[in-house]
Structure 1
């Protein structure tokens, strides 16, 4: 980049994403190489400016820590292609549960029963509608609680992943839930 103003860090990040998603003309390879070299130098400069952690806080990286699994109860997010297909209707939502207006105790029992029955029937994708909450400036109680319930032991083996739904399915007041495969549907 010759002349003009320098990019700030946010603009550099955005430009880097754009640059990686395009192909350069053959005669522009030198400009691209210069840009990449400048980006690497900037990244090294930023890395140097970070304060070092005290020795007692930094933990050595061992082979065991690299291969350690996610903590129990952790669900991976739904894959982007799967979420897009669900949002566009190309992948069927096989069942829905609306928890609007229920107390947490009722909602928990109903949700557990619904997820268990859907899992037993071999369903893969369901929609759980929690609602967004009616209080001004606060999230709904069920909207906060349902993702926490999914990490508990009674739900853990039933659910593979979950993600907030697309806007027309309820947005952040609903969840797409991918159920774990049952033994008879595994390949």
Structure 2
């Protein structure tokens, strides 16, 4: 996976979504991919916006990039996910994750 030679069987692009939109979309995608027998999927989170923060208002950058790995470790997704690793640059690099799924029982 690290060399980018494996080709993900499916992908979801979450960047631009809010947390409230992204969490159910990710859940549907992961569970649906597992139920259809897929083993390697790509989750695109985006890298987060880069810009100046107002010193009076603290804005977090890259919220999806930080939150998605936590969601993948929590139920119900934790039962479907076997491994998560950063994507190769050709598949999105720092703004994407490879998610290796368990076989459905």
TM-score bin, normalised by smaller chain: 0.7 to 0.9
Q: Does 1:159 align with 2:81?
A: yes
Match of 1:83 in 2: 2
Once the two structures are superposed, what CA deviation does each residue of 1:89-141 show, in whole Å capped at 9, x if it has no partner?
A: xx321001000110001100000000010000010000000000013376411
Match of 1:168 in 2: 90
Distance in 1, Cα, partners of 2:33 & 2:96: 17
Distance in 2, Cα, partners of 1:103 & 1:132: 14
Match of 2:27 in 1: 112
Q: Which has the higher contact order (CA 8 A, sep 6+)?
A: 2
Shift of 1:83: 3.0
Unaligned 5+ segments in structure 1 are 1-81
Match of 1:133 in 2: 48
Once the two structures are superposed, what CA deviation does each residue of 1:61-113 show, in whole Å capped at 9, x if it has no partner?
A: xxxxxxxxxxxxxxxxxxxxx433xx02xx32100100011000110000000
Structure 1's consecutive aligned runs of 4 or more residues displaced over 3 angstroms after TM superposition are none
Within a 5 Å distance, the mapping from 1:41-80 to structure 2 comes to: none
Match of 1:179 in 2: 101
Unaligned 5+ segments in structure 2 are 53-59
Q: Which of the two has greater strand per residue?
A: 2
Task: Give the aligned CA root-mean-square deviation in angstroms.
Answer: 1.5
Q: For this pair of structures, how many residues does the alignment match?
A: 98
Q: Does 1:98 align with 2:13?
A: yes
Larger Rg: 1
Q: Which of the two has greater helix per residue?
A: 1
Q: What TM-score do the two structures reach when normalised by structure 1?
A: 0.50
Q: What TM-score do the two structures reach when normalised by structure 2?
A: 0.86
